[in-house]
Amino acid sequence: MPPNVGRAVESAVDHRKGPRRRGEELENAILTATLEELAEVGYAALTMDRVASRARTSKAALYRRWSGRAELVLDACKLRAFPDGGLPDTGALRTDVIALLRRMSTHMASPFGSILRGLLAEMTSDPDFARLIRDRVHTAGPVTIRALLQRAVERGEVEPWILGSRRATVATDLLRNEFLLFGAPVDDGIITDIVDSVYLPLVLRPAPGPTGDAEH
């Protein structure tokens, strides 16, 4: 019945007395711990137990907020987004794009790279979750390069229809592919090769399209 009324001789070490965090404060501590774990051991080796103990909380507190590792990491990446550093603005499309790809490359060489791989693998299961990952993780590249293109259009370097074409994001798409296959950081020669022998010929002025291909 009420077994241990009295005294609890046990529990020599029980710091439930310490200032107990709640709500947002605790949540922030958990997300911070998650990012630290990601930086130290990467996504694949991140465990809920480790995050909980690093944040000096309990797994129960984690599972009350997130349904699993992937959701937790996703939120950690979302709120404390990795530094973006503003748009490159060198005055010419070529150097702008090279600067962007270089930045993406170093970004992928950070723990973020392993997160990317891990989340990509987990997209197999849930389509809704897959959409979430796509939206939160894979939009940075395309959004940024479209902004660079927009300025190039205003300078007259690029024809406006390119913005709505699949050509627009080829540079970041190829960089992502390169990273996934060969790892990061992506060699600088490869970056300039992507830009000079593929991307610029596709988007720069005199580049002709086959038929009227402004769709998507």
Partner DNA sequence: ACACTTAAAGAACGGTCAGTTCTCTAATAC
Partner DNA sequence: GTATTAGAGAACTGACCGTTCTTTAAGTGT
Interface residues with DNA (CB under 7 A) are 3-4, 8, 13-23, 26, 45-50, 56-61, 63-64, 68-69
State how far the alpha carbon of 128 is from the alpha carbons of 33, 121, 124, 133, 159, in Å.
26, 14, 11, 9, 36
Q: If we measure between CA atoms, which residue out of 179, 94, 95 comes closest to residue 137?
A: 179
143 binds, among a second copy, DNA, none (CB under 5 to 8 A by kind): none
State how far the alpha carbon of 186 is from the alpha carbons of 108, 118, 175, 183, 189, in Å.
9, 19, 8, 7, 8
Contacts to a second copy from residues 48-107, by CB under 8 A: none
Element (H, E) at 77: helix 69-79
- CB-nearer residue toward DNA: 22 or 216: 22
215 binds, among DNA, a second copy, none (CB under 5 to 8 A by kind): a second copy
Site string for a second copy, 136-155 (x = CB under 8 A): --x-----------------
Q: Which stretch binds a second copy (CB under 8 A): 49-57, 78-86, 150-158, 171-179?
A: 171-179
State how far the alpha carbon of 109 is from the alpha carbons of 42, 91, 139, 183, in Å.
11, 27, 18, 8
4 binds, among DNA, a second copy, none (CB under 5 to 8 A by kind): DNA
Beta bridge partners of 123: none
Question: Within 10 A of 71 (CB to CB), how many other CB atoms are there?
Answer: 13
- CB-nearer residue toward DNA: 10 or 215: 10
201 binds, among DNA, a second copy, none (CB under 5 to 8 A by kind): a second copy
162: which 2 tokens? 């390119």
160 binds a second copy (CB under 8 A): no
Q: Which stretch binds a second copy (CB under 8 A): 5-13, 42-50, 75-83, 101-109?
A: 42-50
First to last CA, the chain: 69
CA-to-CA distance for 46 and 215, rounded, in angstroms?
Answer: 42
100: which 2 tokens? 């962007």
Judged by CB under 8 A, the number of residues near a second copy is 49
Give contact residues for a second copy (rule: CB under 8 A).
42-44, 113-114, 117-118, 120-125, 127, 130, 134, 138, 165-167, 170, 173-174, 176-177, 180-183, 189-190, 193-194, 196-198, 200-202, 204, 207-213, 215-216
